[in-house]
Every structure is written in structure tokens, then in C-alpha cells.
Amino acid sequence: MSETIHITINGIPVEVEENTVILDAAKRINVVIPTLCYHQDICVAGNCRVCLVEVTGQKRLAAACATPCEEGMDILTNSLKVRNCRKHIIELLLSEHHSDCTKCYKNGKCELQFLASEYKIMTQDFIELYDEKVHTIDNFSPSIVKDDSKCIRCQRCVRTCEELQGVNALSVAYKGHRMKISTFYEKSMNEVVCTNCGQCVNRCPTGALVEKNYIEEVWEAISNPDLHVVVQTAPAVRVGLGEELGYPAGNRVTGKMVSALKRLGFDAVLDTDFTADLTILEEGSELLHRLKRALLDKESNVPLPMATSCSPGWIKYIEHMYPEYLPNLSTCKSPQQMFGALLKTYYAKVRNIDPKKIVSVSVMPCTAKKFEAARPEMHGSGYRDVDYVLTTRELAIMIKQAGINFAQLEEMEFDRLMGESTGAAVIFGVTGGVTEAALRTVYEIVTGREIPFKNLVVLPIRGMEGVRMSSVKIENPLEEWKFLEGVELNYAVAHGLTNAKKAMDQIKNGSASFHFLEVMACPGGCLGGGGQPIPTNFEIRKKRAAAIYAEDLGKPIRKSHENPEVIKIYKDFLGQPLGELSHKLLHTSYQTRERS
Amino acid sequence: MIEQHLLLKRVDFIFVQDTDWEKILQKSIHRSRQELINELISSELKGRGGAGFPTGLKWKLTSEVQGNEKYVICNADEGEPGTFKDREILTRVPYKVLTAMAVCGYIVGASNGIIYLRGEYQFLEKPLNEAINEFSYFCKKINLDFTIKVFMGSGAYICGEETALFESLEGKRGEPRNKPPYPSVNGYRNKPTVINNVETLAHTYTIFKYGAKKFYDLGVQYSRGSKLFSVSGDTPKPGIYELELGMSLQDFVEEFGDGDTKAVQVGGASGFLVPRKKFSETAIGYQGKLIGISLPTGGSMMLFNSSRSMYNLLDNYLEFFREESCGQCTPCRIGCQQLLAGIKAVKKGDRPAPYLDKLLKLSETMQFTAKCGLGQSVANSFASIVENFREEMIY
């Protein structure tokens, strides 16, 4: 039992448990203390000093985010001293910041701008320290733009990269007035270990780290009558988009999103979920194939456990950090890339459109997808499979630009031909979802029976624990799969690259007992992706996850292999999973990358 | 050597030969921990790094924390401009420091000691390690489980701040941590840690050797004992002097000044500049009203005569802070830049003289809001210089 501490905040008595920080205590009584460097997902830094409060009797102010409440504390969050100091801090930050707000991508979304507005900083008494000559903008990465002149050195990005992702692409360099956030040898973000996951972008309070946006390019394509512009949307987008457009977290806006995309002028609005279902068939077959080689054919060097390959941040991570395990990755492309490849082949053929004239756009919860689409391997169709990748946030910007009253839109259905999907595909957007979807299909392929979980909900694999493991026992398999009789199929799920590292280290030291490993680079899976609405934090991720699971339950079909369009594409075009055409269009290879 | 007309009483504890360290060590570790702590507490020894935290209390706090893994760290990152006493202690009487660390380890239950040595003192590393070897040999002989290692700093001023020092020791960037928690319960490697300045440790040796009374009898109320002073600047006799605490600055200047002393910087760049007119009302020591103002110091005493520009002095300090701030917290990183740019602008006439008042306000904000002692203390020199020599800032 922890002790109860009695304090007062602005004269209001509050009781809190031991070790509660002042910031949280204030929240209890609806007192908002402004913060900049604080973020729920990462450790407390206490370096921006915006959240300072006065503790009666103490000369110095205390950082509310970092100071635990002590018995009898009398705290003032809005005394004159606090206000004056806080204003000073904001003025100082502004004097170092490149305040060209109207030309900034984060205009209207910047936490420093909010504070400046809240405190009505109308003049700049301090001397302008920002010097145009010394800052360069790093926009070489296809995913992330880093502009140091906007940086307030809160180190949220550094802590995110280290704690959540274990990548350490960003760290602090130099000291004193030269102190900055930088990369290894100050190289471009494009040349270092950065996985493009965008978690830093999602946490940057200002415009120092933003996604590279392709909004104008997409508008241009849409308005070109000669081009056939097709958009696909990832499963996690539909549970996040609403937050950018006035809805509280956890709302599904699938129908309205489709409606809005049509209004934006896309020639076809299709669903990445379709290729998510396809991924399950390809990846599931691949897993069974590897198991067969290992268990039946007794081959000695079958790369098991097999790891998922849908998350491009994870792919780049393993290419840098564990290149010796690249053979363990499934060779399946991600659903986005499968979609792109099929769009300029299958779709073009069926719809009788010249693939040269198809512009393939995807809306993703992800910034790494921008990098993935630009990989040289991703030209299976003979063209660049995906031309432009937009994040959820960019889509929201386009919807606003087009003057669409989102809330009033009628709900519409995805267009057909690569627009049909199942509940199994929807859950790709949440950590554990790929595994669950795969189990629903693989178990049924092997045994001819549905997976023995009520409502097909594989409960043991759900949740937000960093690394989760479970297993399912195979009994009475069909004749073809007799070698799997009695086999405990073990699977592991990790989300966030720090957790991926834990799973990989198990593989490395030989203690891993699982056959299948699902990794999503971002915490919570795609729903917590770097391209999702800001803020994203633990509570919000939980709400988005609930929305995704609700979407799954609401789908008439909830198993990938029952998707009629998937059945049709194998019949009419691909032949069979792992077939020759599949291999050409749906599978890929990986490359070793340096660790710098 | 015969000194003439000594105004200030010299004390000679610190640099008295340390050849009896084996005896002192053995004697001390055969006394009870409580007895030793009480001895220290009754001596009223306070931290000689400048902050003045009661040493006995510090050791007591760590000794009361549960846990097998504890550390004793000697802060030898002597970086304050104008301070050079720790270097001398480690050169001339290293065994006193080592002995004090071992006794501290015995008291608090730590078996590991680390000396964090200033990067620029690399030349001390070898002789220090030789002393440590001999010391360790003796420890083994008397079955005392205590090892000492030297860790070289890399030249950052901020690493003298205790929590930044821990970060540095842990191989990380030297950035101060949030307090609480304090080192006595959560320090190096998040374990209970005693961290003391070199001189503080050397004083404990004196106390263990002669008893608390002999130490306590020196000095004045709240400021007991003696202290090493690093005297530099416009003085005919620069050097290191061990003096009683509580002296008036007037007496100090009369003894060490060159007859034309305009101001004295007490406590280095992060200390205070005292102008001539306030010499007689200023005493050197810790809090408590004696003759007026009482200023603590880590030992740095810089004298300036009338040929010196106080503007240049402040410019120099601010340049130093702008460079040596770790850069993590807003008020310190940007505040130092603004103060420097601000006085330059006023001097040049780009900003009106009243802009100095805005800067004074800013320095006060830094004092209230900075994360660590560095940013908090910039206001000390800034305000004391600007307030006392305002006209020099403008014209």
C-alpha cells in the first residue's frame, strides 16, 4: 500500500498516492499545466521548464512534470512569479526558434505556437538568435524532413528514438548554445540507421520533424484528366482520421473516409485490406511451407521462426541491426506494395487501362511507407508500384483543403475490384492482428475447422504488452498436413522496435521457442503509426485498437481465405499462393545495411 | 618561510604531511559508524565545493539507505574559473583523500570509490593511480574491502555538477538530472552515492585525526573550520592559502590586494562580484548574518584592480556559460545567449540602457527556473556586476 499525500494546488486540497508528480496531481482537479518536453509515452526530461510551478516556501520553481508531491506542499500554478517566468521561457524559446509560422508545415498544429498564443506573446523584446545562415534543412529522406531551425531541443524525438524504438538515430550533439539534435556524424536522416518509423515526427511539438508531404503531387495527378488516379487506404487510417477532423479518439470513419476520397476526385477508392487478406494467404502458405520443410522433409537450415514483413520500419531495422536474420523474414511484400503491384497489372488488365496512366496513391498511418514505396525492389509491375504515399494527417489536410464538411458526409462503400476485405484484414492495423488473422486462416487450412476461439477472437494475442507469446495446438489435421499432428504452433508478437529487439535477441541466443514472429515497428501497431494524428499516446492507442476490433466484429466475412475477391484473383490471375506470378508480384528481397 | 604582517590567521591542516594515513585509516575503521558520523556532524563541516551541504548529514543519509551497492565519489572535476586547490591537494596529500573515501565507504557501506578527475588534470592520473595501488595494497592487508578507480573527465564544466557527473560516469552525455531524487539515495547507477569535493574529503581526514573540536574551534557561527582559497588576479601573492572561514572581505583585500583593488569575484564565474564599497560588510562563509552579506565560495577569490573593465569581465563569464551550459534546459541554454547578446547590444547602443533591467529580470528567471546550479547561478555574477557597475556596461 502506498502512502497518501495531502497537498493543495491553487488552494484546492488534493489527495494523491506517493510519487505522484505535480502535473498529474493537478490534472485530478482539472488544472492544466502547460508542457512541451513532456510526453506520456517517454521518460520525463524536465528540460523545457514550461511546466514550472511555485511551491510555497521555496525560492526556486519546480518542474511539475518531474517533481513528486510531498506531504503538505502548497502549490501555485498561476502565481505572478510563475506567469512571469513562464512567459520568459516562452519568449526565450521564440527568440531561438525560426518563427516563420505562416510558412510552416505545422502552422496551427504547433505546441509552441499554442503557448505563444495562450500567453499572448505579442512582442519580441529579446534579441533574435535564429540565424538563417547556420541552419540547413535535411529533406533527403523520402519520409522525414528535419529542420533544426524549428527545434526547441525538448529531446522528445531523442527519447522516442531511444526508448520506444531502440534505434538511436537521433541524439544530442554539442553543448551550450551549439547544442542540437543530430545524427551520426551529422549525416542526413536518409543515410543513417533511421527506420523512417516517424515516431519522432509524431512527438515533435514543433515543425522541426515533419513527414515529407506529397499533397501537391497528388493534387496535380488528380487534376490531370489523362491519368487514372487510384487510392488505397490502410486499415489503421479509418480509426485515426476522425481525430484530425473533429472526432474524439476511437471513432471509425470508414464510410465517410471513402466518401471524402471520392469527393477529392480519385478515380477509384480501394482498400489495402484487400491485399492484407492476400498477404495472409501468401504469408500463411509460406509459413506452412517452411514448417513442412523443417518437420516433414527434415531440412536442417529452414529459416524459422518466420517473421512478418508488413512493417517497413521493422524491415529497415532488421536490415541494419540483424542482417544475418534476413532469411527469417517472410518474403511477402507489405499489403501496400502488393496492392501497388497488382494495381498496375491485374487491375489495369481487368479495367483495360494503360498501366502507364495509373497513378497509385496510398493513404497510410505510416511515414516508413514513403520510404518503402521508393525502394528499388518495388517495381514488380514494371513501374513504380506505389507512386505517392500520404499519411493520415496529409489526407486530413487534403480533405480540409477541398472544403469538405466531413462530419456531414454520407457513408459510402469502397469500389469493387480490390475493394473487398474481411475482418481479418482490418485487424492488421493493431499489434497482434496479423498473427490473429493468420491463425484464423492457417488453422483452418490445416484442420479444415475454424480456429477454436469464441467469435474467432484469439484473445491470448490481444493487448498492449510489449512482447506477447502464446501457442495453439494442432489436432486432427487434414491428410495433407498430418505431419503437424500434435504440434504446438508457437507465436510471438512484438510492437515498438525496442520490443522487437527483445524478441530478436531471444532468437539470437537460441532461447526462442516460437515458429512465427509478428513485429510492428510502432507501439500499438499501425494504429500508433508515425503518420497517425498527433497526439498519439497510450490512451489513444487503446481507443483506436477498440475501434479496430469493433470494425472486425462488424464485418460479414472475418477470414481472409473467404474474401471472394481474393478467391477470384487466384482463380483468374495469380493461380495459387506462392505461385510463379505471386512470386513475381507479391514477394520481394531484402538488403543488408550499415549500422551508422 | 617568514610571512610579514599577516593579517589573516593561517591554518595548516590540509597540507600537513599525510604519512600517517595508515594509522588514521586503521584507527577510524575500528570506531563505530555512528560515532564517526556524530564526530562529523559536530564538526559542522560543510561541502567545500561551494554549495555547503553539511557533510555529516550527507554521509548519514546514505548510510541509512538499504542496499549493498553504494558508491563513494570524489568530485575532482575542478572546473570553476579561478579554482585550483583540488589539484594541489591531489598532488601533495593524495592519501588523505583516499583515506577519507575509504572511511566514508566503511561508514555508508560502500566498497567502491571513484575519483572523477578533471580532463585537464590528466598529468595527475598516473601519480594518483600509483598512490591508489599502494593504498589498495594496505586495504587488503587490513581486510578492508574498498577499491578506488580514477575516471577521467573530458573537459566539460557541467560535469562538475554532481548528477551530470554521474551521467558522465555512466558513459552518457553530461546532463544534470532532475532532483529529487538526490544522490544520497539515488546517484551513480541509480544507487545510493556519497559525492564530495576533494577538499571536503581532505577536511574529514583532519577531523578523524584530531577530532571535531579542533576543526570546530576555527571559523565562526555557521561557517566552521578552515578553507582553502585559490587567490588570483591583481594580487602580489597569488596562490593557495588555508584560512579560517568567516573573515571579512576587507581584511582579505588588505592582505592580498595590490592597494588598488576595485572588486573581488568570490566563488568564480558562478559567484558574486563584490565592489570596493561593500568589502567591509561582506564576509566569506555560509549563510547567517555576520557583518552583513555572507558569501560562500568553492575557494575562488579573484581580485581586480582599477585597470580592469567590468564589462569585459562579464562578457568573458557569459561567453564561458554560453559555451559550458549543457544546453538541455531552456533558461540556461537560451538565457546565457540572451544575456551575452544583450550586454553587447547595450554596449554598442543597439539597445537602450534600460534593456539591462530586462536582462536583470531574465537572470532572475534563470535563477528560479534553471534545472541545475549552473543556470541558477549565472544570475549571481550577472546581477552583481550589472548592478554595481552599471555605467561600465553602458559607456
Last residue of a domain, one of B216, B239, B260: B216
- Say if residue B128 is in the same domain as residue B161: yes
Backbone φ/ψ region at A384: left (φ over 0), alpha (ψ -120 to 50), beta? beta
For the domain that residue B52 is a member of, what is the CATH number?
3.40.50.11540
pLDDT in tens, A524-552: 999 999 999 999 999 999 999 999 999 99
Interface touch A68/B180, C-beta < 8 Å:
yes
Provide the mean pLDDT of chain B.
94
- In a domain? residue B9: no
Last residue of a domain, one of B289, B305, B321: B305
What are the structural domains of chain A?
Answer: 4-78 (3.10.20.740), 123-211 (3.30.70.20), 215-274+336-408 (3.40.50.1780), 285-332+424-586 (3.40.950.10)
The pLDDT of residue A344 is: 95
Burial of A112 (0-12, 13-18, 19+ CB in 10 A): buried
- In a domain? residue B189: yes
Q: Which residues pair with B302 in a beta bridge?
A: B232, B265
pLDDT in tens, A496-515: 999 999 999 999 999 988 99
Q: If we measure between CA atoms, which residue out of B233, B293, B296 comes closest to residue B49?
A: B296
The pLDDT of residue A1 is: 57
- Say if residue B34 is in the same domain as residue B176: yes
Interface touch A176/B334, C-beta < 8 Å:
no
Band of pLDDT at residue B6, cut at 50, 70 and 90: low
Q: Is the pLDDT of residue A462 over 60?
A: yes
- Say if residue B84 is in the same domain as residue B145: yes
- Say if residue B317 is in the same domain as residue B270: no
For the domain that residue B270 is a member of, what is the CATH number?
3.10.20.600
Residue of A150, A212, A369, A559 with catalytic role: A369
- Say if residue B143 is in the same domain as residue B254: no
The pLDDT of residue B222 is: 85
- Say if residue B51 is in the same domain as residue B138: yes
Provide the mean pLDDT of chain A.
95
Band of pLDDT at residue A133, cut at 50, 70 and 90: confident
- The residue with greater pLDDT, A513 or A65, is A65
Residues 329 to 388 of B: which have CB under 8 A from any A CB?
329-331, 333-338, 341-342, 345, 351, 358, 361-362, 365, 367-371, 376
- Say if residue B371 is in the same domain as residue B295: no
- In a domain? residue B3: no
- Say if residue B233 is in the same domain as residue B203: no
pLDDT in tens, A276-332: 999 999 999 999 999 999 999 999 899 999 999 999 999 999 999 999 999 999 999
Question: Residue A248 has what DSSP assignment?
Answer: P
Residues 151 to 210 of A: which have CB under 8 A from any B CB?
152-153, 155, 171-172, 174-179
Closest CB to A126 among B323, B338, B376: B338
Question: Residue B46 has what DSSP assignment?
Answer: B
Number of separate domains in chain B:
3
Closest CA of chain B from A543, distance in Å: 32
For the domain that residue B370 is a member of, what is the CATH number?
1.20.1440.230
Closest CA of chain A from B289, distance in Å: 19
Q: Specify the pairing of strand A388-391 against strand A467-473.
A: unpaired
Question: Can you list the positions of beta strands (E) in chain B?
Answer: 71-76, 112-117, 147-152, 193-197, 219-220, 223-224, 226-233, 239-244, 261-266, 272-275, 282-284, 293-295, 300-305
- Say if residue B359 is in the same domain as residue B299: no
Structural domain of B141: 21-216
Interface touch B369/A88, C-beta < 8 Å:
yes
The pLDDT of residue B221 is: 85
Would an 8 Å CB–CB cutoff place B173 in contact with chain A? yes
Return d(Cα A351, Cα B149) in angstroms, integer.
76
Band of pLDDT at residue A19, cut at 50, 70 and 90: very high
Question: CA A485: distance to chain centroid?
Answer: 38
* Contacting residues of B for A51, CB less than 8 Å apart: none
| Close Cβ partners of A54 (under 8 Å, ≥ 6 residues apart) | A61, A62, A75, A76, A77, A79, A81, A82
- Say if residue B246 is in the same domain as residue B383: no
The pLDDT of residue B292 is: 63
- In a domain? residue B12: no
- In a domain? residue B246: yes
Band of pLDDT at residue A134, cut at 50, 70 and 90: confident
Band of pLDDT at residue A596, cut at 50, 70 and 90: confident
Question: Can you list the positions of beta strands (E) in B49-122?
Answer: 71-76, 112-117
Other Cβ atoms less than 10 A from the Cβ of A415: the count is: 19
Question: Can you list the positions of beta strands (E) in A152-212?
Answer: 171-173, 180-182, 209-211
pLDDT in tens, A356-374: 999 999 999 999 999 999 9
- In a domain? residue B161: yes
Helix (H) or strand (E) holding A17: strand A12-17
- Say if residue B259 is in the same domain as residue B378: no
Band of pLDDT at residue B286, cut at 50, 70 and 90: confident
* Contacting residues of A for B175, CB less than 8 Å apart: 172
- In a domain? residue B6: no
Closest CB to A177 among B322, B328, B371: B322
Interface touch B331/A89, C-beta < 8 Å:
yes
- Please state, in angstroms and as integers, the Cα–Cα distance from residue B212 to each residue in A430, B18, B45, B56, B246, following that order: 67, 18, 9, 11, 18
Residue A175 C-beta-side C-alpha neighbours within 13 Å? 19
Bond from prior residue into B354 cis (ω within 30 degrees of 0): no
CB-based contact A38:A23 (threshold 8 Å): yes
- Say if residue B354 is in the same domain as residue B233: no
DSSP string computed for A556-595: S---GGG-HHHHHHIIIII-STT-HHHHHHHB--------
Residue-wise burial string across A159-172, b where 16 or more C-beta atoms lie within 10 A, e elsewhere: bbbbebbbbebbeb
Band of pLDDT at residue B1, cut at 50, 70 and 90: very low
- In a domain? residue B174: yes
Last residue of a domain, one of B262, B282, B305: B305
